Structure 1
Amino acid sequence: MIPEIGTLGQRRLKNARVLVVGAGGLGSPVLLYLAAAGVGTLGIVDDDVVDLSNLQRQVIHGMNDVGRTKLESAHDAVARLNPLVTVQLHDARLTAQNALDVMAGYDLIVDGTDNFASRYLISDTAALLGVPCVWGAIYRFDGQVSVFWEKHGPTYRDLYPEAPPAGSMPSCAEGGVFGMLCAAVGSMMVTDAVKLITGVGRTLLGRVLLFDALASSWREIGLSQDPDRAPVTALADYELSCGLAPTPMTDSDATITVRELATMLERRDAGLIDFDLIDVREPSEREIESIPGSRLVSQGRIFAGDAEHELPRDRDLVLHCTAGSRSAAVLAELQRRGYSRVKHLHGGMRAWVTTVQTPNREIR
């Protein structure tokens, strides 16, 4: 009944093929509203399973879905809402080897991922395929939304010419996200997706919307193509170029297990050895749970160079985070700076809680 959309716009929606990468915080509202709008074919890319901690923000899933794949859960939610939608499931993690095959045949890509490597990959693949990409990002109380389309405007590389240092940005699970922020940013993403499909209104191509949930305010910045940026001609090794390669050091001299750490702490308490156990997480994470005998020196301060006086070079250091990725990144950075007596904890706080502390103990 909206004159700008009308029956022609509804037919365009029915004939559209949209790929949503990620069935998480942003993918949840996007998938539900695209299905409700009558998009004919929805592709979903995800290789994760539903975890209890997801439910705070990933509203397409419920308690009964915990342990199921996000693909299965999202498919069932879309089918309940609109059984006329054809859902195509892609149980894969996008890589430079499979991205073109997975994304080919879709008219529009919606990027709901949460890491830089995937965002560069999706934007570059969309550029090679000549299709638009709707992108959104969230962190704690802040959100960003834009449209990338190399044929007609900027891409993700024009917004972020270089990836940040490895491990400098925690994931949503590690750094936290205001659950309702996903709805605000996701709704803007699907709004532009529908406008691109129906051809109405002005999209966010060439603009970036910034949302501050704490202040309940939106602002806009302009974005244009960098004339000196080379066009995308091929896909690359994005995990390597974004500093997201597997653990920088895999030899036993650089990594310890939680059981080894437990023994080391016992020996330290007995005065037999001495070392510093460094928690590189954020203060809010440490408030929830910590390893006795550790001290906090957050990753951000280490990368910024503000904490070297707290990390003596003449003592053994053991780093830990939530799961091991951030501590591995800090390990590599300290080694680059000349530290030689440093290791990191494999599996991080999660492995410590499940292996050393009482199994099945509820974290409070």
Structure 2
Amino acid sequence: MSDLSLDGTQLDRYSRHIIMDGVGPAGQSALLDSRVLVVGAGGLGSPVIEYLAAAGVGTLGIADDDVVERSNLQRQVIHGDGDVGRKKVESAAAFVEDLNPDVAVEPHDVRVGPENVADLVADYDFVVDGADNFRTRYLVNDACTLAGIPFSHGAIYRFEGQITTFTEGSPCYRCLFAEAPPAGTVPDCATTGVLGVLPGVVGSIQATEAVKHLVGVGESLDGRLLHYDALGMNFEELPIRPNPECSVCGENGIESVDEVEYVGSCAVAE
């Protein structure tokens, strides 16, 4: 899409982008030409989907096999009371359609697994990991790292969140956490709860990382893990160093997700 292809309605809708140094008509056109996959339409996926749609990302893939529950509504802001019992991908698609008709939604009503993850991520320019379980996080990391597709990782727990971005040639999630923790050692939000506004902060940062990458402006969190403490209202930055012996991005890393058992620790098979 050329700069001149922005019509009058788009020039109005995206005017606050277009007048910005670093974005402008070319940056907005790049967004409209972009394809982003959001894995998870829950707490983190909700603000990501909302802001990427508002920003004019042309195609949003949304992968989730869950349905909306009333307990989701405290934090999953793209779903409403009338959506309870509805497939999350359907509810999310309707939300996007109402917000911005420029955006095409590709719903993937599937559980992300080793049999489909490579095909899911292959068609997108950027992936946002909004998963709420370690199995999916490792699947997204491994598939995106092997395919050279940049992605943003986010996670939340009670009052805390973490965000980073991985790009081609950078350290990957397994450089930070080689294997998943033992089952039961990290309770989910259904057990411990989560502050409702927390995913809004973390997901908004993930959406920011996606937009900056697609426009080609600023510095990403590549090589840095940003930790957010809502109770103390502070951010801490931790470096992520590449691991030459990483089982995925290291010198002797795997070549396919088929080499991994995505159960328990999600360890790479010896």
Q: What is the rounded CA distance, in whole Å, between the counterparts of 1:133 and 1:158 in structure 2?
A: 15
Q: What is the rounded CA distance, in whole Å, between the counterparts of 1:38 and 1:26 in structure 2?
A: 19
2:56 equivalent to 1:64: no
Q: What is the rounded CA distance, in whole Å, between the counterparts of 2:239 and 2:155 in structure 1?
A: 17
Whether the 8 Å contact between 1:50 and 1:61 is mirrored in structure 2 is: yes
Whether the 8 Å contact between 1:145 and 1:210 is mirrored in structure 2 is: yes
- Amino acid across the alignment from 2:127: I
* 2:95 matched residue in structure 1: 77
- Amino acid across the alignment from 1:6: G
* 2:255 matched residue in structure 1: 233
* 1:15 matched residue in structure 2: 33
2:188 equivalent to 1:188: no
Q: What is the rounded CA distance, in whole Å, between the counterparts of 1:146 and 1:136 in structure 2?
A: 7
2:230 equivalent to 1:208: no
* 2:177 matched residue in structure 1: 160
Q: What is the rounded CA distance, in whole Å, between the counterparts of 2:198 and 2:254 in structure 1?
A: 32
2:241 equivalent to 1:224: yes
Q: What is the rounded CA distance, in whole Å, between the counterparts of 2:59 and 2:51 in structure 1?
A: 13
Task: Give 1:240 shift.
Answer: 4.2
Task: Give 1:227 shift.
Answer: 1.5
* Correspondence for 1:170 among 179, 184, 187: 187
Task: Give 1:111 shift.
Answer: 0.2
Question: Looking at CA atoms only, which structure, 1 or 2, has the larger radius of gyration?
Answer: 1
How many residue pairs end up in the alignment? 242
Q: What is the rounded CA distance, in whole Å, between the counterparts of 1:237 and 1:8 in structure 2?
A: 43
Structure 2 counterpart SS, 1:32: helix
> CA RMSD of the aligned region, Å?
1.1
2:66 equivalent to 1:48: yes
Task: Give 1:99 shift.
Answer: 0.7
Whether the 8 Å contact between 1:134 and 1:193 is mirrored in structure 2 is: yes
Cα deviation 1:87-123 (Å, max 9, x = unaligned): 0010100111111112211010000001111101101
2:28 equivalent to 1:6: no
Task: Give 1:154 shift.
Answer: 0.9
Structure 2 counterpart SS, 1:219: strand
TM-score (norm: length of structure 2): 0.87
Q: What is the rounded CA distance, in whole Å, between the counterparts of 1:216 and 1:110 in structure 2?
A: 24
Structure 1 residue ranges without an equivalent (≥5): 244-364
Structure 1 counterpart SS, 2:207: helix
Q: What is the rounded CA distance, in whole Å, between the counterparts of 1:85 and 1:66 in structure 2?
A: 24
* 1:322 matched residue in structure 2: none
Task: Give 1:162 shift.
Answer: 2.0
Q: What is the rounded CA distance, in whole Å, between the counterparts of 2:209 and 2:200 in structure 1?
A: 14
Whether the 8 Å contact between 1:127 and 1:232 is mirrored in structure 2 is: no
- Amino acid across the alignment from 1:233: E
Whether the 8 Å contact between 1:165 and 1:242 is mirrored in structure 2 is: no
Structure 1 counterpart SS, 2:127: strand
Q: What is the rounded CA distance, in whole Å, between the counterparts of 1:90 and 1:148 in structure 2?
A: 23
2:167 equivalent to 1:145: no
- Amino acid across the alignment from 1:234: S
Q: RCO higher in 1 or 2 (8 Å CA, sep ≥ 6)? A: 2
Instruction: For 1:352-363, list aligned pairs within 5 A.
Output: none
* 2:14 matched residue in structure 1: none
- Amino acid across the alignment from 1:181: L
2:142 equivalent to 1:96: no
Structure 2 counterpart SS, 1:50: coil
* 2:15 matched residue in structure 1: none
* 1:120 matched residue in structure 2: 138
Structure 2 counterpart SS, 1:239: coil
Task: Give 1:152 shift.
Answer: 2.4
TM-score (norm: length of structure 1): 0.65
